[in-house]
Every structure is written in structure tokens, then in C-alpha cells.
């Protein structure tokens, strides 16, 4: 009998991870090759990432993703195999391939600190250096910032709506597996308290939490048996899911099994305002006065706001936070704003700007600052007036990272930045941005 060949392992069937340089669009390399061929690839240049507008209804944006992006820029490059592929597919010329073989970003990056707020026109990231090098960063910069900012900006509004009550990020099942980790990080820096994602807990030190799904209850002969199993494994301080069959009976059974020291209950269905009030009354009658009530089920900043007066102790948010609460991208763009006709940082720069209708931009390298009234401005001459506070900080100098705050520091910065916003910016209801970055005359 012929020997049956063992199936290849799953790992063998998975493609190897791409280098940071390959996380880009082909047109970046088309332009790079053209710059190599015409000799302008090393001309000095300045690019900026900014949002022309915020998603409809948003009062501010919250910068996130910088801690993920900067190491990728510092490690931006290509393997020999990737370069062979690019040449074989005609994505790059031979001369471009020779330059990319030892590619390393050598320029400077300045940016708003991660966790900083921004408004339309804010130059949240500036890349300065050789034209070809800065050009190649576009797709990577935008893919990271547009995703993480969308999550963080939505999460910040939910934190405001929760008014100090903790929120769990639990959206891993509603997005790409790698995006789930990035989303958990972005939500945490915006003020979420915990995540259900174990990889985010392991990689970023975010507190990871979780108990059971309805399948756990249904897998037992009775709800009582399920609760008893969970309490036996995790103790009376656990949170029991009480809405699989009947919420009132579920609460009674939960207290009977765990006792009045039951840590919490979770409600995942029904009118959460009504059900939480009924639950609080019943728990108090049963002597479980310290048992927490946690609610889940398609929550967002608007629903959480509507539940403001309900006796709810915590929220679990999934789909809406990892998809930016209806705005899955932040609308960031990355544009050339100044360029020189020769290499070198000392070379004179000429401002350039796109003038297309609805997609215009301001040319020239900008120095952003805030005045004491919270308004945001920028100068093209680099001079900050008295009373102005510069917003950008150096994050890469000569290709080397020089700014590496911890996630705890970023989270603290975000809390302070949001707290400093004017009262109107804290309103969850749709409205206009509290200010716009304006050129100072």
C-alpha cells in the first residue's frame, strides 16, 4: 500500500510576514523608480500628514498609532526575495533595486505626541529628508494612522459618555486578527480600562479580562450548573452572564449559587436601561448590594450617553469601537508640502500645494502651536509667538528613534489632552470641530 503523505503543517502553508517596505502601494515604487532615473531621488523634501476635515459630527481627533508606526519607519526596508519579486513584476527598475537593496530611512520625523488631540489642518506628522525616502512612507503612515486614530477618536467619545465608569474593549471578533491588537491598544490609550484580547494584553501590558459566552451556559444541563461550574473555577468574585433564558431568574440563581458576594452580572440583551434598573433593585433585595452590573450589546457613545442615569457599573464595547463608531478611517492624507531642487538639508525649499477643489492644502513646512485659549495655529517661518506652545516633538532624527514613551505615558497624555479641551468639545452629540488649525499672519 502506498504510504500516505502527511499534510503540510499550517505554518508551512502560511506566507511569511512582509517587511515594512512591502506594506505599501505599487505606485510609491513607480514614483521612486522615476525619481531614481531622473536624478531627483535625493532632493530635499518635506511631507506632512493631516486631515482636511474630521468625520462628520466629530469635535476633535485623537492621535494614535505613533508608537506602532515609528519602529516600522526606523526598520523600513526590503529583503532580497522581495526585491527580486519587485523586479520580476516590473514594479522597480534595476537602478532603483540597487538603491533599495540597502535602504534605510535617514531623515527626520516630527509629530504630535501620541495621545494628543488634533483638528482639521493639524500637521500631526512631518517627514523631512530625501524625496524618495519620504515618498515611500506614504502608505505605511496612512494605513497605521487612519486605523488607529479612527479607533482612538471613537473610544475617547465613549469614555466621555461613560462618565468615569469602566469600559472593556471586546471587538476582536469583529475585525482582522492583527487589527484587533492595534484596536485594543488604541482604545486603551484613549481611556478604555481593559481588553478581551489576550495578544494585546501580552504585547502591550493592557489588562485582559473575560468570563463566558452564552455557549457556556447552554453547554450545561442547567443555568445553575453553569454558574456553579464558573464559580468553582473562578470564585464568587466572577461575573455571571444572566440573560441566556430569563434575566430575573438568572439573577436569582446567580446569587443563590455565588452568594451575596457575587462580583458581577452581565446583561447582553433587552432594553438595557430598564433591565439594569430591575437588576439593581433585585440584587439589592437579595442582599447582593455590591454586585456590579455590566452591560454589552452593540454599544457606542450615543447608547452609553442614553444610559447615563442607569445603575450600570461598566460597559463592554465591541463592533462600534473597532470600526471607529461609523467612521472606520480618520481621513488622514500625506502630502508633499516643500521640495528642493538639490539634496541636503541646507538646500532652499520651495512650497508646493495641491489646489484641486475640496482637496487643497497649504504649502510649506509648518510649525504648529497652540495659544492659551486652545486655538491651534501654524507658522511657515518657524517662529512661535509669545504665549504659544509648540505641539510637535522629534520622534526620529537621522533615521534613529528618539521618542519612545511607554503606553502608560501615552495614556496619561491622552487623558490630560482631552481634559484640556473646551467644554463644547466634550459633547457627544454631533457638532463642529472646536477649532481649525489656521495659518498665523
Q: Where in the chain is the domain with CATH 3.20.140.10?
A: 22-150+327-439
pLDDT of residue 441: 54
Whether 296 and 268 have beta carbons less than 8 Å apart is answered as: yes
Q: Where do the DSSP E strands lie in 299-331?
A: 314-317
* Full DSSP string of 229-277: HHHHHH-TTSEEE--SS-HHHHHHHHHHHH-TT--EEEE-SS-HHHHHH
Strand, coil or helix: 176: coil
Task: Single out the residue of 167, 153, 199, 193 nearest to residue 180, CA to CA.
Answer: 199
Q: How far apart are CA 43 and CA 420, in angstroms?
A: 40
Q: Is the pTM of this model over 0.85?
A: yes
For Cα atoms 309, 315, 318, give the angle at the middle one, nearest 5 degrees.
135
Cα–Cα dist 365/336, whole Å: 10
Q: Which three cell numbers stand for residue 88?
A: 520580476
Cell readout for 323 is 470600526
User: Do the beta carbons of residue 111 and residue 137 sit within 8 Å?
Assistant: no
Distance between CA atoms of residues 393 and 25, nearest Å: 28
Q: DSSP string spanning 128-195?
A: EEEHHHHHHTHHHHHHHHHHHHHHHHHHHHHHHHHTT--EEE--GGGS-HHHHHHHHHHHHHTT--EE
Tell me how far CA of residue 436 lies from CA of 54, 325, 377, 387, 424, in angstroms.
10, 22, 8, 18, 14
Cβ pair 228, 257 in contact under 8 A: yes
Per the structure block, which three cell numbers stand in for 21?
517596505
- Residue 378 near residue 126, CB atoms below 8 Å: no
Is the CB of residue 60 less than 8 Å from the CB of residue 434?
yes
* Torsion from C-alpha of 94, 96, 100, 101, nearest 10 degrees: 20
Nearest to 320 by CA among 148, 151, 115: 151
Per CATH, the number for 22-150+327-439 is 3.20.140.10
Nearest partner of 374 among 432, 430, 436, judged by Cα: 436
Q: What are phi and psi of 34, to 5 degrees?
A: -65, -40
Cell of 164: 468615569
Bridge partners (DSSP) listed for residue 370 = 376, 389
Q: Collect the ranges in the chain with pLDDT lower than 50.
A: 1-15
Question: What is residue 314's three-state secondary structure?
Answer: strand
Taking the C-alpha atoms of residue 203 and residue 198, their distance in angstroms, rounded to an integer, is 9
Chain-centre distance for alpha carbon 64: 5
What topology is assigned to 158-322 in CATH?
A: TIM Barrel (3.20.20)
Domain with CATH 3.20.20.70 in the chain: 158-322
Amino acid at each position: 500500500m502506498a504510504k500516505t503523505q502527511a499534510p503540510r503543517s499550517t505554518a508551512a502553508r502560511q506566507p511569511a510576514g512582509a517587511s515594512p517596505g512591502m506594506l505599501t502601494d505599487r505606485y510609491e515604487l513607480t514614483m521612486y523608480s522615476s525619481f531614481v532615473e531622473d536624478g531627483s531621488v535625493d532632493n530635499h523634501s518635506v511631507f506632512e500628514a493631516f486631515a482636511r476635515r474630521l468625520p462628520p459630527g466629530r469635535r476633535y481627533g485623537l492621535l494614535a498609532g505613533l508608537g506602532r508606526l515609528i519602529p516600522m519607519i526606523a526598520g523600513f526596508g526590503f529583503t532580497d526575495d522581495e526585491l527580486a519579486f519587485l523586479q520580476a513584476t516590473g514594479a522597480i527598475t534595476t537602478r532603483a533595486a540597487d538603491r533599495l537593496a540597502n535602504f534605510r530611512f535617514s531623515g527626520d520625523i516630527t509629530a504630535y505626541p501620541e495621545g494628543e488631540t488634533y483638528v482639521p489642518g493639524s500637521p500631526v506628522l512631518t517627514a523631512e529628508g530625501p524625496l524618495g525616502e519620504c515618498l515611500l512612507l506614504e502608505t505605511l503612515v496612512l494605513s497605521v494612522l487612519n486605523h488607529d486614530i479612527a479607533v482612538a477618536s471613537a473610544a475617547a467619545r465613549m469614555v466621555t459618555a461613560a462618565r468615569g465608569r469602566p469600559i472593556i474593549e471586546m471587538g476582536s471578533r469583529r475585525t482582522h486578527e492583527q487589527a484587533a491588537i492595534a484596536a485594543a491598544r488604541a482604545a486603551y490609550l484613549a481611556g478604555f480600562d481593559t481588553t478581551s484580547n489576550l495578544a494585546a494584553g501580552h504585547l502591550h501590558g493592557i489588562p485582559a479580562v473575560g468570563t463566558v459566552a452564552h455557549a457556556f451556559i447552554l453547554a450545561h444541563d442547567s443555568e445553575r450548573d453553569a454558574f456553579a461550574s464558573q464559580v468553582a473555577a473562578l470564585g464568587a468574585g466572577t461575573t455571571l452572564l444572566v440573560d441566556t433564558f430569563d434575566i430575573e431568574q438568572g439573577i436569582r440563581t446567580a446569587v443563590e449559587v455565588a452568594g451575596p458576594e457575587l462580583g458581577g452580572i452581565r446583561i447582553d440583551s433587552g432594553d438595557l436601561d430598564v433591565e439594569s434598573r430591575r437588576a439593581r433593585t433585585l440584587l439589592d433585595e437579595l442582599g447582593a448590594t455590591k454586585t456590579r452590573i455590566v452591560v454589552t450589546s452593540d454599544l457606542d457613545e450615543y447608547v452609553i450617553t442614553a444610559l447615563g442615569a442607569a445603575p450600570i457599573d461598566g460597559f463592554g464595547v465591541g463592533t462600534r469601537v473597532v470600526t471607529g463608531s461609523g467612521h472606520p478611517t480618520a481621513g488622514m492624507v500625506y502630502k508633499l508640502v516643500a521640495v528642493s531642487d538639490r539634496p541636503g538639508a541646507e538646500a532652499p525649499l520651495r512650497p508646493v500645494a495641491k489646489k484641486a477643489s475640496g482637496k487643497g492644502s497649504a504649502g510649506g513646512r509648518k510649525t504648529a502651536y497652540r495659544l492659551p485659549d486652545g486655538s491651534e495655529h501654524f507658522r511657515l517661518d518657524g517662529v512661535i509667538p509669545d504665549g504659544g506652545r509648540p505641539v510637535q516633538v522629534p520622534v526620529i532624527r537621522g533615521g534613529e528613534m528618539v521618542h519612545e514613551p511607554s503606553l502608560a505615558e501615552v495614556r496619561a497624555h491622552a487623558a490630560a489632552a482631552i481634559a484640556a479641551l473646551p467644554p463644547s468639545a466634550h459633547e457627544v452629540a454631533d457638532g463642529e470641530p472646536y477649532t481649525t488649525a489656521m495659518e498665523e499672519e
